[in-house]
């Protein structure tokens, strides 16, 4: 254990102060603070804490969990595959790629077992992954099997030329048949794990939607993404007052069950990197989605 006593005035936050002393990044110091490996006066403090004269910092030895991406046999729902690309229908609850604390059972683990080669552009823990959807969002994903295909598909995403249509059930009855939400999305200032519509450190986000069916207390909609921000549909629909049903983070509405949120990436279209031909794929709504839809039909 290392101990540091503050004997003179220190400017700035504790993470900024400790980073050069410990030869670590601020984010790693912040992680150690969150995991209570660093205490001030034997108490937990946030990374933004401003040190005072007389403060005693205790720093425990920190061993970071090793992260790996190993092949695992998995039942993948492969909609299409050739030498360059795959289209996979991701199941409910499956995380797309490994992260600290979640090294196994991800889509990447299954892809590594199935495919002889995957693109390397996004690093060793995200091979083949061109874009992502949330763990409890189901539906179609493009997978690149080589770096040329990855770059080609990524450019289409950046240029907004891919087609990505989702179906969702939202709380509330939307009175108008169509709409467009053009509102920038960035990190929530009060909860860094969430995204929010904000003007600070945000990026443009555009979602088009149309009503497919109205229920007594909910609406079935189709959403088409013009941009691809983290949690975009979930944030945008909550922003206009119609949060996704069963979303555990946004909207703060009751959960009907524990099967996942009612958001499905139903359609995806793109120009093939080798043939240069447009390809489009569609998927059926999963059982978890249909189960909740039936709940509203029987209201």
User: Token pair for residue 286?
Assistant: 């999963």
Please name the residue that has the structure tokens 């249509």: 165
Closest CA to 169 of 225, 212, 136, 226: 212
What are the two backbone dihedrals, phi and then psi, of residue 83, each rounded to the nearest 5 degrees?
A: -70, -20
Phi/psi region, residue 213 (left: phi>0; alpha: psi -120 to 50; beta: rest), is beta
Active site residue 134: yes
C-alpha distances out from residue 202 to 198, 230, 235, Å = 6, 11, 13
Q: Which residues make Cβ contacts (< 8 Å) with residue 202, sequence separation at least 6?
A: 184, 185, 186
User: Token pair for residue 28?
Assistant: 């790693």
User: Token pair for residue 191?
Assistant: 């909860």
Residue among 15, 84, 134, 247 flagged as catalytic = 134
C-alpha distances out from residue 239 to 13, 171, 202, Å = 32, 12, 15
SS3 (DSSP) at 107: helix
Strand duo 138-144 + 263-271: pairing: parallel
- Under 8 Å between Cβ of 89 and 283: yes
What residues are annotated to the active site? Answer: 134
């Amino acid at each position: 254990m290392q101990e540091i006593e503050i004997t003179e005035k220190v400017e700035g936050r504790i993470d900024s102060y400790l980073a050069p002393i410990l030869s670590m990044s601020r984010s790693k110091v912040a992680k150690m603070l969150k995991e209570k490996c660093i205490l001030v006066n034997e108490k937990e403090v946030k990374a933004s804490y401003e040190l005072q004269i007389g403060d005693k910092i205790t720093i425990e030895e920190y061993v970071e969990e090793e992260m790996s991406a190993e092949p695992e046999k998995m039942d993948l729902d492969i909609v299409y595959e050739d030498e360059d690309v795959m289209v996979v229908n991701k199941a409910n609850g499956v995380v797309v790629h490994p992260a600290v604390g979640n090294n196994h059972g991800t889509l990447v683990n299954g892809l590594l077992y199935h495919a002889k080669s995957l693109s390397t552009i996004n690093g060793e823990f995200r091979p083949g992954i061109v874009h992502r959807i949330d763990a409890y969002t189901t539906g179609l994903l493009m997978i690149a099997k080589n770096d040329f295909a990855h770059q080609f598909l990524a450019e289409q995403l950046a240029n907004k030329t891919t087609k990505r249509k989702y179906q969702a059930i939202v709380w509330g009855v939307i009175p108008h048949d169509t709409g467009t939400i053009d509102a920038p999305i960035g990190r929530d200032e009060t909860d860094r794990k969430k995204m929010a519509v904000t003007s600070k450190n945000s990026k443009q986000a555009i979602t088009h939607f149309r009503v497919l069916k109205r229920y007594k207390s909910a609406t079935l909609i189709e959403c088409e993404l013009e941009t691809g921000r983290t949690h975009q549909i979930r944030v945008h629909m909550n922003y206009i007052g119609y949060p996704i049903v069963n979303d555990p983070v946004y909207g703060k509405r009751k959960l009907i069950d524990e099967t996942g949120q009612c958001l499905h990436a139903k359609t995806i279209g793109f120009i093939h990197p080798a043939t240069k031909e447009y390809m489009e794929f569609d998927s059926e709504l999963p059982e978890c989605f249909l189960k909740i839809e039936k709940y509203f039909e029987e209201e």
